[in-house]
């Protein structure tokens, strides 16, 4: 999802990074939490579907807020690595694989 959204965006700046990261994290974490809640909470503990869905949504929102809080720092670090070519040998070697 992140990559698909990235292809649709024209600019490579923090706003486009944030949009695609936040959307993909929100969707991905909701699905991850939902699968876990269905398998564990619903199956073993008898939670209702409303409880399963609310737990999944609450967890996804909490994880998304953590990303919103931490992503500006991560974005700056990664941009610095790009300027310094950190990891470029690894990326070039594995781009053709």
At 34-93, the pLDDT tens digits run 999 999 999 999 999 999 999 999 999 999 999 999 999 988 998 899 899 898 888 788
| Cα–Cα distance, 37 to 44 (Å, whole number) | 10
Q: Where are the alpha helices (DSSP H) in 1-97?
A: 2-8, 14-36, 43-45, 49-83, 88-95
Kindly tell me if the per-residue pLDDT of 96 is higher than 80.
no
Q: Which residue has the tokens 């809640």?
A: 37
* DSSP state letter for 96: -
| Cα–Cα distance, 97 to 73 (Å, whole number) | 31
Domain coordinates of the chain in residue numbers? Answer: 2-68
């Amino acid at each position: 999802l992140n990559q698909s959204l990235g292809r649709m965006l024209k600019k490579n700046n923090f706003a486009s990074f944030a949009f695609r990261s936040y959307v993909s994290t929100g969707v991905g974490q909701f699905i991850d939490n939902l699968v876990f809640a269905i398998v564990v909470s619903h199956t073993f503990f008898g939670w209702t579907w409303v409880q399963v869905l609310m737990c999944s949504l609450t967890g996804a929102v909490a994880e998304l807020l953590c990303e919103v809080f931490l992503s500006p720092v991560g974005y700056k670090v990664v941009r610095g690595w790009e300027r310094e070519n950190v990891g470029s040998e690894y990326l070039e070697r594995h781009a053709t694989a």
